[in-house]
Copies of this chain bind each other. A is one copy, B any other.
């Protein structure tokens, strides 16, 4: 089973409005709610692909209850640890021009709650084939929370995929996850400088030098670049796909986790990740993929071999 860890899940609330006008009152005619957070999106994509998955993490308060109910309705199996603090909400106010977002910080997780989570996680690891660690950390957790979970997984021989940002990403990379998946902004932050355009395996490979075993960097329409000690590859989508790019990175992570579990060679794995990301763009909401788009693009993804990471 692929275990997805979501330490700071969210209730994603969408308000369609005619036009957002600052400092006025908007009557929202319709409210859409989804279970949110990168790890839950990854779990939903894997579940849609028929992959055995278990979602774990932290949930609290009535907002946490709502997330759990919405997740249960998707059929994704889950085992969450309760927190006293409320799970956060994200509000997306969508008008015809674009989306305006408000993101709550999440609950202050106590040391005792974090300890209970680690105990449950150690338990789950016994049955895990791959662990995905995705999204932000809630207030109260140490910045090396993902590093701790990566080390616990390695001690049990379970490979890990890390997709986060900021200090949590930097700390996590040092614990040597099997795959880390930064996007352009996260790579820039890790390297303290923007990578060349399109990014080279040399630039991406510098993150391998920081500790990650493989780095898959995502660059939207420019595709993916993977750098490992053994070699590097680039995968480019065969055509642009119109739609909603939110969730494309989560679909990419789902493909990487599935490939890691199956032992798929890098060129094939990258092609699947590019096609599944495009299939997420073609689907209306994050956490969903358009399977016909995936099947149409999968054989046509352009793969080129590049040099190994310089390490």
- Chain A positions within 8 Å of B, measured between CB atoms, are 13, 15, 17, 20-31, 61-63, 65-66, 69, 86, 88-89, 91, 93, 97-105
Bound-complex Cα distance A100 to B23 (A): 4
8 closest A-B pairs by CB = A62-B62, A23-B98, A25-B101, A62-B66, A20-B22, A26-B102, A62-B65, A28-B104
A28 surroundings in chain B (CB, below 8 A): 102-105
Starting from the known contacts A26-B102, A31-B88, A62-B69, 6 additional A-B residue pairs (CB-CB under 8 Å) come to A17-B102, A23-B97, A23-B98, A24-B100, A24-B101, A31-B104
Interface pair A22/B25, CB less than 8 Å apart: no
Nearest neighbor of A30 in chain B, beta-carbon distance: B105
Chain A residues touching B, majority SS: mixed
Say yes or no: A99-B62 contact (C-beta < 8 A), given A28-B105, A105-B29.
no
Interface pair B23/A103, CB less than 8 Å apart: no
A21 surroundings in chain B (CB, below 8 A): 22, 100
Nearest neighbor of A62 in chain B, beta-carbon distance: B62
Among B61, B66, B88, B91, point to the contact of A102 (Cβ < 8 A).
Answer: B91
* Most interface-central of A21, A24, A28, A66 (chain B CB within 10 A): A28
Q: List 15 A-B contacts (CB under 8 A).
A: A20-B22, A21-B100, A22-B100, A23-B98, A25-B100, A25-B102, A25-B103, A26-B102, A27-B105, A28-B102, A28-B103, A28-B104, A29-B105, A31-B105, A91-B102
Among B23, B62, B88, B93, point to the contact of A63 (Cβ < 8 A).
Answer: B62
Interface pair B66/A103, CB less than 8 Å apart: no
* Most interface-central of A20, A31, A61, A105 (chain B CB within 10 A): A31
A65 surroundings in chain B (CB, below 8 A): 62
Interface pair B102/A93, CB less than 8 Å apart: yes
A98 surroundings in chain B (CB, below 8 A): 23
A20 surroundings in chain B (CB, below 8 A): 22-23, 100
Bound-complex Cα distance A219 to B69 (A): 46
A97 surroundings in chain B (CB, below 8 A): 23
Say yes or no: A102-B15 contact (C-beta < 8 A), given A20-B23, A23-B97.
yes
Bound-complex Cα distance A102 to B24 (A): 9
Interface pair B100/A27, CB less than 8 Å apart: no
A15 surroundings in chain B (CB, below 8 A): 102, 104
How far is the CB of A271 from the nearest CB of chain B, in Å? 31
Nearest neighbor of A33 in chain B, beta-carbon distance: B86
How far is the CB of A17 from the nearest CB of chain B, in Å? 8
How far is the CB of A292 from the nearest CB of chain B, in Å? 31
